[in-house]
A and B are shown apart, each in its own frame.
Chain A
Amino acid sequence: MLPLPPIRYLAPKRLRDALELLEQGGRGRTAPDGDGAQRRGPVLPIAGGTDLVPNLKHRLLDVELLVDLTRIEEPHLRGVREVAGHLHVGALTSLAAAAADPLLRQRHPTLAGAYRQIGSPQLRNMGTVGGNLCLDTRCTYFNQTAFWRAALGHCLKRKGTTCHVVPGARGCVAACSSDGAALLTALGAEARVEGVAGDRWIPVESLLQSEGRRHLALLPGELVTELRVPAAPPGRRAAYEKLRMREAIDFPVLSVAAVADLAPGGACRSLRVVVSALSARPRVVTGLGDLVEGRPLDDAALERVAAQAYRQCHPLANMTADPAWRRAMVPVLVRRALRRAMEAR
C-alpha cells in the first residue's frame, strides 16, 4: 500500500466556502475546522483526484487540508452549455461526460475526442476537465515514490537544488502532460478563474506557464471554474494527435493540436499548431502566418509547417521515451494532424 499522508478533508457545497478555505490556506493562515482547532499548512483543491492522489501518495506535495470541489453546487461548474455561441464547460465536468456530450461533440469533436484519449475509462469517469487543465507537470525523475526520489537525490521541484533533466537549469522543465491543455490552447479557449477577490477570464495560453513548479498563473486560493471555447467559424478544421506507448492509460510522450480556419475557397485564413509534452507549457508554433495564410493547406504547406514545428520544438529527457525520437516525431505528428484536420468534415 501507498498510504496517503495525514490530511484533513472538507467538502463545501458552496463555491464561496471553497474559495475562502483555499484563500486562507494560500496565505498560510489558519484553516478553520469543525472542531475549531487551529492548524496551519497548505490547502489544496481536489476534484477527481486522479492526479493529486497519486502525487500525494508519492509525497510530491505538502498538504494539510484537502478541499473537495465535487460537492460544490453552483451550476456553472458542471456540464456543457452554449452562451452567445461559445461553449462553456464546467470545471467539474468529468472527462467521460465531456467526451460524450452531444453539444461538445457537435461543435468541437476534436476536443471531445482528445478527452476520450485520456487515461482509461475509470480515470475519465473520475477525472475532471478542470483538473485536467490544472494537471501538475510530470517528470520521470519526479513522479516516483519518496523512496525513489530520496535514492536519486531530490530535484529543484521539491527539496533539491538541481534538475536531473537539465543539470544547471534554474527552472523546472517537467512536461505538460494534459491532453486537454494543448488543444484548448490551440482552440483559443479561455478559463474562468475565481477567487475570493473576484472573477476573471484568462486565455488558457496565458494560464499555462513555463515553470514546471508553478505552471499555472493562478493566485493563491484561485480556482478554475469553467472553460469557454470560442465558437468555431465555418471552415474550421481541427485535429489532435497523441503519441504514446500503449493505446490506453499512458500520458502523451508528444502531442500536437492543429486548428485551421479556411476561407470558402479553401485558402487558409489562420492556422494554430500547438505541440505539447515538451516542457511545462504547450508550445505554440510561431511564424506560421507567413507560411500558410492565404494559401491552400496542400502537401507543400504541410511540409513547411512541419519543418517550422521541428525547428521550434525540443523534447527533453523528462520522460523515459527517447527525446531524439520524440523530436523526430514532431514533424510526423504535425503532418498527420494537418492531414487529419483537412480530411475532417
Chain B
Amino acid sequence: MKESVRFVVNGDPVEVLVEPGATLLECLRQDLGLTGSKQGCDKGDCGACTVLLDGRAVLACLVLARSVEGRRVTTVEGLAEAGRLHPLQEAFDTQGAAQCGFCTPGMLMSACALIEENDQPSRQDVREALSGNLCRCTGYTKILDAVVKAAGEVHQARAAPKGGGKP
C-alpha cells in the first residue's frame, strides 16, 4: 500500500505516494522524473546516486523514500540557478571532467557538499571528498582539476564584497 511522503526537492515542496519499500532514488527517478541521479549498483557501492539531504551527501539508493519526510533534497537538477550553471558544472564542462557523464551527477553532488564546507580544498581534500564516487572513464584527474578550479571561483565570489563577483 502506497503512503504519502512530503519533502522539498530542489526548493520545491512535493508530495509523493510511494511504497514503504521504495528508495529515495526510485522516488526521484520514477515518481518525480528527476532522472539526473543515476543508479550504478543500487546498494551503496558506487556513488552514482549521490544527492544532498539537508545539505549532506548521501546515497539515494540506500535512503528510504519515506524517511525524507519534511527534509530538503538537492539533486543535480537543482544545482544550476535560473539556468546559470553552478561553478562546479561550468568547471566540469570546461575541464573535460564528464566523459560518459554517468558518474557526473553524483560527483557534482559530493563536490558540492565539499565546497559548501570548504571552498579552499587541497587536491587531497578533494580526493577524500570524492572517494565514494567511482568513475570508470576519467582516471579522476580532470574531475579533481575541475573541483579545485570551481572551489577557487566559489571562494573568490564569497570573498568578494556583496554585489560583486559571480555567485
Contact = CB atoms under 8 A, between A and B. Distances in A.
A3 B61 CA distance: 10
B58 A5 contact: no
Contacts of B50: 122
A248 interface: yes
A249 B58 contact: no
A68 B67 contact: yes
A2 B42 CA distance: 6
Contacts of B57: 121-122, 125
A274 to B, nearest CB: 26
Interface in B10-63: 19-23, 26, 39, 42-45, 47, 50, 53, 56-59, 61-63
Interface in A96-144: 96, 119-123, 125-126
Interface in B113-157: 113, 128-129, 131-133
B8 interface: no
A6 interface: yes
A121 B132 CA distance: 6
Nearest to A8: B20
B6 to A, nearest CB: 13
Given A1-B39, A2-B42, A121 B20 contact: no
A123 B44 contact: yes
B interface, by DSSP: helix, strand, loop or mixed? mixed
B93 interface: no
Interface residues of A, number: 31
Given A6-B19, A122-B50, A125-B56, A49 B131 contact: no
B62 A121 contact: no
Nearest to B46: A249
B22 to A, nearest CB: 8
Nearest to B19: A6
B42 A123 contact: no
B66 A57 contact: no
Contacts of A308: none
Contacts of A70: 67
Interface of B: 3, 19-23, 26, 39, 42-45, 47, 50, 53, 56-59, 61-64, 66-67, 69, 110, 113, 128-129, 131-133
Interface of A: 1-9, 11, 46, 49-50, 53-54, 57-58, 66, 68, 70, 96, 119-123, 125-126, 247-249
15 contacts: A1-B39, A2-B42, A2-B43, A5-B21, A9-B66, A11-B67, A53-B62, A54-B43, A68-B66, A96-B56, A122-B47, A122-B110, A123-B59, A126-B59, A126-B63
